[in-house]
């Protein structure tokens, strides 16, 4: 049995992380690189991607930055192909990019619904479709879908987002059903509010944030590094028997 540091190590692994330009995705890039992974960082904002590259290189690892619009059909496919062309193979896919546009059910427009589904649900499917064949061939792969507490329990003004995240949880199980036999593990993480640009935008105003925080037994919102640490565990050999799971990272919100 390898020492525990080896079971949690990503030395020699290559990870593709979407939504790498800020917030949780940027932190995931830094943590995975710190654990030994090279990283393909995907987003639209070149300045944010430059930050991701700096974080990965500061850990002594290689980073390729890939500008892609994940709302399109071709964007995720091209990003996955570019990462494969650069690294030869991808061991870890982290589907982290998402959009959230709080609106009541009655206000939500069809275009907003479609865009939310495209980025939050279709892009993870398309990325996995391009990357999985090589994982199957190599009999090794980790797919980690950053979902949401809202994919498990509803809150007002998040109908498209909640439906997309619930769909992502179902997609995670579908991946496990088909790919577990190829030694690929697929899991979803469901965080509560995390203090990122998205979290601040939606929950920053005290009239919205305070009642939400009061419902979290831990009494606080989460931090990006707390999500990144769970991503690291799910990306590492230490978690090889965990498959098809949706893991809450919610300070106890759904325990009530």
Tell me which residues touch ligand NAP (CB under 6 A). 19-25, 43-45, 48, 68-71, 96-100, 119, 146, 148, 191, 193-194, 196-199
Max Cα distance, the chain (Å): 56
| Residue nearest ligand NAP, CB atom distance | 23
89 versus 195: smaller Cβ distance to ligand NAP:
195
Query: Looking at beta carbons only, is 114 or 240 nearer to ligand NAP?
Result: 114
CB 33 within 8 A of CB 63: yes
Of these residues, 4, 161, 233, 253, which one is catalytic?
161
Residue 119 Cβ vs ligand NAP, minimum distance, rounded to whole Å: 5
Least separation in angstroms between CB 232 and ligand NAP:
15
Q: Is 253 a catalytic residue?
A: no
CB of 14 to ligand NAP, least distance (A): 19
Output 96 or 185, the one with its CB closest to ligand NAP. 96
Enzyme catalytic residues? 161
């Amino acid at each position: 049995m390898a020492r525990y540091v080896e079971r949690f190590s990503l030395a020699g692994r290559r990870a593709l992380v979407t939504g790498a330009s800020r917030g949780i995705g940027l932190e995931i890039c830094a943590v995975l690189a710190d654990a030994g992974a090279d990283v393909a960082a995907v987003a639209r904002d070149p300045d944010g991607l430059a930050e991701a590259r700096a974080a990965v290189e500061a850990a002594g690892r290689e980073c390729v930055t890939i500008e892609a619009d994940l709302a399109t059909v071709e964007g995720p496919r091209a990003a996955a192909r570019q990462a494969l062309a650069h690294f030869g193979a991808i061991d870890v896919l982290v589907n982290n990019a998402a959009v959230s546009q709080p609106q009541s059910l009655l206000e939500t427009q069809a275009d907003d619904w479609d865009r939310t589904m495209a980025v939050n649900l279709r892009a993870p499917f398309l990325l996995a479709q391009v990357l999985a064949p090589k994982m199957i061939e190599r009999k090794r792969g980790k797919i980690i879908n950053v979902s949401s507490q809202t994919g498990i329990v509803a809150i007002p003004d998040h109908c498209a987002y909640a439906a997309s995240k619930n769909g992502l949880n179902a997609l995670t199980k579908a991946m496990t059903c088909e790919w577990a036999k190829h030694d690929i593990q697929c899991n979803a993480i469901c965080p509560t509010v995390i203090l990122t640009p998205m979290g601040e935008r939606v929950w920053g105003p005290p009239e919205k944030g305070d009642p939400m925080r009061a419902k979290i037994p831990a009494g606080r919102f989460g931090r990006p590094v707390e999500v990144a640490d769970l991503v690291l565990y799910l990306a590492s050999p230490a978690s090889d028997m965990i498959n098809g799971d949706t893991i809450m990272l919610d300070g106890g919100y759904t325990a009530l």
